[in-house]
């Protein structure tokens, strides 16, 4: 079967099987390997993309389900310059190996689009569907706080690490 | 992980979807896919035909119909959780939806899907039992209403026939003196993930005394169940902390508590009492 959709602003049509998952359409048919596959069971969130502006897990959606939809992957987030969340992960060292990062960034971007002034608790619950095996989450939370401040037009808090 | 091959259709109308189900005994309904797709990927289940109802218009609204709310088949968990109507009139359901999975799961999965799925540790199943909700099922043969108390049959088995679609869920609106709540221990600690044990409570107080109460448990047996003995013990009391504690002691009475990976019978029996007590306390405040 064929699916037609918009990916990162571009109209695409691709040949898929009924059982093709959205993440495989993106990675294998369209070569957009920024979206990662971690667990394939719906738990780790590495495959998070936006469908019509909403974060979802692309390993747990059929390509057929996104017929006609607008999909944004991490590759489509920057708009000439880095998205505030991408900048936050850079500035606040929100990653180590980077495996979880695209999913974390897409989840955080979705969260901040709804609420650009989340509490630390709201941020931690907001990334409940994304697992990171490296960072211990601390700097991810700081990175999202940085991005939230930027999106509100505030000065981000200084980094909480000590420079020696 | 790919599911086995299957035939996919995404009808544009409810009538077409019902006809597709009637014509294919091997067809399975898909709404959000948040439980169906993982099961198909693990090949626990391999339907020959998937009828995706996700493209049908008009099924995604939450309506106030006077004495009850109607929640359509495509209302996502996030919409149920954030709806001011559900929060005000069916607090247990809003809370249970807000604790279902994680943000991405709540963006895609549906309240009706979670109920039809009938997982033994699901959240909203307990809420609809305690709230005394009614499921509206449609097939080409007609429409029927199923009371929540008759809906959950066993693990992953509900009263729907294979050719039926759960088109909406009717939830009585809380009136004066009525309150409801849901609380759980999640498998990942706190309230995260499926319930190791969870409880939903609905209570009505008239002139300072409890005259009706319904409590349901999830996670502790083969399906969400009513804990009838708790309601019986609470009715006639003043709903005080002491009365709640006494009633909660009956949480597992008449309930077939089962051991699973997440806890022994003894532990789950204990949790049932603790979470019933918490749910009743929240419902009465
Ligand atoms: C990572 C993850 C975490 C989760 N955590 C939780 C949790 O903490 N608590 C919890 O309760 N659930 C949890 N779930 C399960 C999930 O949220 C719901 O069970 C799921 O959303 C079901 O709804 P759906 O719309 O996705 O249904 P689907 O997956 O599309 O369908 C599920 C089943 O119900 C049937 N069905 C669906 N809709 C209808 C309908 N309208 N009429 C008739 N039959 C229908 C399907 O045929 C299928 O058998 C989790 C899922 C994932 C992936
Ligand atoms: S790969 Fe999709 S949730 Fe882990
Ligand atoms: S940075 Fe390695 S998994 Fe998160």
DSSP string covering B213-240 = EEEEEESSSSS-EE-HHHHHHHTTS---
The predicted complex's ipTM stands at 0.97
Q: What is the CA radius of gyration of chain B?
A: 19
pLDDT in tens, B118-136: 999 999 999 999 999 999 9
Q: What sign results for the dihedral spanned by CA atoms A11, A13, A19, A20?
A: negative
In sequence order, which residues have a C-beta less than 8 Å from that of residue B193 and are 6 or more positions away?
B101, B186, B187
Give me the mean pLDDT over the B25-46 stretch: 96
Give me the mean pLDDT over the B235-261 stretch: 97
Pick one of 3.30.43, 3.50.30, 3.30.70, 1.10.1060 as the CATH number of B7-51.
3.30.43
CB of A40 within 6 A of ligand 2: the answer is yes
User: pLDDT value at position B45?
Assistant: 93
**By three-state DSSP, how is residue A31 classified?**
coil
Give me the mean pLDDT over the B238-256 stretch: 97
- Asked whether B138 and B127 are in contact (CB, 8 A), the reply is no
Measure the CA–CA gap between B105 and B93, rounded to whole angstroms: 16
Pick one of 3.30.390.50, 1.10.3190.10, 3.40.50.300, 3.40.50.12780 as the CATH number of B196-284.
3.30.390.50
Q: Do A55 and B41 touch (CB under 8 A)?
A: no
Please, what is the average pLDDT of chain B? 97
Contacts of A110 in chain B (CB under 8 A): 103
Q: Which residue ranges form the domains of chain A, and what is each CATH number?
A: 2-77 (3.10.20.30), 84-152 (1.10.150.120)
Give me the mean pLDDT over the B159-179 stretch: 97
For residue A38, how far is its CA from the centre of ligand 2 (angstroms)? 5
Residues of chain A under the 70 pLDDT cut? 164
For residue B80, how far is its CA from the centre of ligand 1 (angstroms)? 14
pLDDT in tens, B56-93: 999 999 999 999 999 999 999 999 999 999 999 999 99
Measure the CA–CA gap between B157 and B125, rounded to whole angstroms: 12
User: pLDDT value at position A162?
Assistant: 78
Give me the mean pLDDT over the B210-228 stretch: 98
Q: Do domains B7-51 and B196-284 have the same CATH topology?
A: no
Domain B62-172 sits in CATH 3.40.50.720: no
Locus of tokens 């049908």: B56
And the tokens for B149?
A: 């108390």
Going from N- to C-terminal start, the domains of chain B cover 7-51, 62-172, 196-284
**CA-closest residue to ligand 3 atom 4:** A132
Strands (E) in B149-189, as ranges, are 152-154, 157-158, 165-172, 178-186
User: pLDDT value at position A110?
Assistant: 98
pLDDT for residue B148 is more than 90 = yes
């Amino acid at each position: 079967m064929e699916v037609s959709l918009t990916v990162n602003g571009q109209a695409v049509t691709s040949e898929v099987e009924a059982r093709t998952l959205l993440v495989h359409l993106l990675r294998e048919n369209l070569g957009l390997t920024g979206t990662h596959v971690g667990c394939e069971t719906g738990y780790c969130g590495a495959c998070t993309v936006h469908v019509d502006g909403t974060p979802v897990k692309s390993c747990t959606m059929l390509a057929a389900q996104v017929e006609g939809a607008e999909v944004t992957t991490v590759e489509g987030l920057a708009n000439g310059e880095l998205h505030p969340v991408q900048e936050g992960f850079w500035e606040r060292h929100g990653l180590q190996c980077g495996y979880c990062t695209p999913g974390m960034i897409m989840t955080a971007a979705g969260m901040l689009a709804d609420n650009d002034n989340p509490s630390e608790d709201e941020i931690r619950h907001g990334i409940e569907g994304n697992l990171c095996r490296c960072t211990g989450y601390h700097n991810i939370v700081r990175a999202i706080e940085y991005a939230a401040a930027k999106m509100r037009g505030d000065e981000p808090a200084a980094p909480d690490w000590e420079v020696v | 992980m790919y599911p086995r091959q299957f035939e996919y259709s995404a009808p544009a109308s409810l009538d077409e979807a019902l006809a597709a189900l009637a014509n294919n005994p091997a067809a399975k309904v898909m709404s959000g896919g948040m439980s169906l797709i993982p099961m198909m990927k693990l090949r626990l289940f391999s339907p020959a035909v998937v009828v995706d109802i996700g493209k049908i218009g008009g099924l995604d609204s939450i309506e106030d119909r006077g004495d009850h709310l109607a929640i359509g088949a495509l209302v996502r968990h996030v919409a149920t959780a954030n709806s001011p109507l559900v929060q005000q009139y069916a607090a247990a359901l809003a809370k249970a939806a807000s604790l279902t999975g994680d943000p991405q799961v709540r963006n895609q999965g549906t309240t009706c899907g979670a109920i039809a799925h009938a997982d033994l540790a699901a959240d909203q199943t307990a809420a609809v039992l305690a709230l005394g909700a009614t499921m509206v099922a449609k097939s080409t043969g007609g429409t029927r209403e199923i009371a929540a108390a008759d809906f959950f049959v066993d693990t992953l088995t509900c009263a729907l026939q294979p050719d039926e679609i759960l088109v909406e869920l009717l939830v009585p609106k809380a009136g004066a003196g009525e309150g409801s709540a849901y609380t759980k221990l999640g498998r990942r600690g706190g309230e995260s993930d499926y319930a190791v044990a969870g409880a939903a409570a609905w209570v009505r107080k008239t002139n300072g005394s409890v005259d009706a109460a319904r409590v349901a448990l999830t996670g502790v047996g083969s399906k969400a169940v009513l804990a009838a003995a708790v309601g019986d013990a609470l009715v006639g009391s003043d709903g005080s902390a002491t009365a709640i504690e006494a009633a909660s002691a009956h949480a597992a009475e008449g309930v077939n508590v089962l051991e699973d990976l997440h806890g022994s019978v003894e532990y789950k029996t204990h949790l049932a009492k603790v979470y019933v007590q918490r749910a009743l306390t929240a419902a009465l405040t």
